[in-house]
Structure 1
Amino acid sequence: MGWLHPNIGLLTAKLDRAKFPLRYCKPLVNPLQEGIKNHFGLMSQDPELVAAAILLPKFKCTWSTDDVTIRMRLCFAVSQTGEERLKQVTGEFITFPIPRKEGGTLVYNTKNIAVVVKGNMDIYQDSFKDRIHWDQETGLFTIRDLKTNDSGIYKVDGRNGIHSSYQLTVYEPVSSPILTSAGNESCSVECSVKNDRDVTLSWYRGEEILNRTSSSNLSINLFLPLDEEVKDRDIYRCEAANPVTKENLTFQFPQFCKGTDFDSERTRQLGIFALICILIAIIGLVAIYLKTRQREIKDPSNQDVSLYAEVNCSRSRNNQEVQSSILELDRLSKNTERKTVYDQLQLRHMSSGVINIA
């Protein structure tokens, strides 16, 4: 039975003249404390009027000839009963949207943390030192380098008693999800992520969501299996998200479902590469050994040589031949390493008087 605007409210109520005397239509002194009952009598039973009186501190009344019409046209700043919700990630900044160009107070969980008077700002909480900024041109308060413990209720109070409230929640960036597979014929794939506040874990096929999970237990990891038969041509996506950040992993069957996860696949490739290197090294060593062995077989200087010579000696006419044979043996002995010469001497009686030495 009425209409309300967030900044300028208009409430119209048609009442019986007898139930609503003109004397009750007067400005409210402090509707937040005294309430509508002290000013409107019987009309306090109307829930819309009660809500309007709590939100709207000023009004005026006009009358029509047929019935009593109360029109409350209000120029006011709303004192909200609920807070506007703000969300941000750690390390970033937040700016409260309601300006206070003439100065004001920034309140955190009922404690004043910053006060601006005549363009000068004082900060009263050490945890916010060097992190709160008030822009003199725009009149906006900003908190920088946000931390998770900055979450809470903030109020920006103006010098005219008008204030706005905000519920700020600061989140850590969501962790990257991890994919694992069982490697069977149906390619059983599971996605997991570290749990945190308001984290959800979801499976998508293209843009179609397949399933989702979350948990209020922040000490555990979230696990979500892909509960359907994986098709070769479909692209699947595992998404970990909170209200301010998200991380994704995508895969297709041929590239992933081989019985390993991403890390073990890389480990397998490195193992194969190392095995190939070891085999090449072994083959090289064997080749070097065989080549060296073959060279030793072909090189006569590395073998023992035995020379056998038959020496015939005569007393007179064969002396020169004996000497030349001895010199030849001596020469061969010097030119050949590790050579052994065996001499076998035999004494025979010859009629001619010649001694044969063999």
Structure 2
Amino acid sequence: MWNLLKFGTMRKAPFLCISLLLAKGVFSVETEEVKAVRGETKTLHTGVKDYFKIFWRNENNSNIADCQVLTDDSTLCKTLRDGVQIDNQTGSLTFINISDELGGLYKLQIINKSFERSTNEFNVAVFNPFPIPIVYKSENSSCSQCFLLCSVNETQTTLSWYKGDRLLSSIHISDPNNSIPLHLKGNYEDINEYRCVVNNSISTQTKPLSTSELCQSCAETGLNPGYIALICLTGIAGVVIYWRWRKRGKTGRNGKWMPMHITQSWLRRKRIQILDWPAYSPDLFPIDNVRRIHKTSYLESAAYRYQNGGTGGSPDEEENLDY
């Protein structure tokens, strides 16, 4: 009988051990997937506030950080790897300026004050920083209508336009050459409320709009259609007036037609009498008088020198002095 009981107990022992291990959580370790962007701060939370000991180990079971509550209820914590910190109240592990080297599997073991153990695992994946979206103005834009395009050099992302907290449009990007448009009209006083947002399951980046670098109203650019029409009419009127002025003008040197009729009309209205001078009158062109006086004076002095046996004053020289 004893042998039978002993044999039955031995048969049940493996099942009893497996049940105890499952109850302790040995075969039910949970692995939490954690995504981080290179350069950011990321924390692995323990989810507890009361403990006796906490251990953090890597995938090679090497100790990274640990905390222990001492007899005087103070806490002693230490870290054995650069770039990590451990919270002495919760035992949570924080990565400062996370890098690719800090990615991988992390194992957490917690021993509470009843000396019960629990374990958990975190698989940390580190990704490249997400680029800020690019916003640019389309060639079809004008001062009255502004067409904006937002794009990002990434795939498998979502591009969206927001005005404040209100979603205006959104598309999924599978090709980095794709973009999402935004059509604005008016004076763009509220353009600073618009923003382009790109996001995926890892990160989000936002590009707010700025009036100074994108859309400007017609009043700011000076290209109001009314102003343009006024400038065109003024130019046409100026051409017509100049043409008629040139056509009616009269007399100048060499008898050419010149725009003088406005001056003559003004003199007549003021009843100012003027003398009729010929076109070649020296009084109209003083330089001719100066040349004539200089020529006469030079020839007289040259003739005097010639008569007294000096040089100059010859007939040939007089002919060469004709200007």
Normalised-by-shorter TM-score class: 0.3 to 0.5
TM-score (norm 2): 0.45
TM-score (norm 1): 0.42
- Is the radius of gyration larger for structure 1 or structure 2? 1
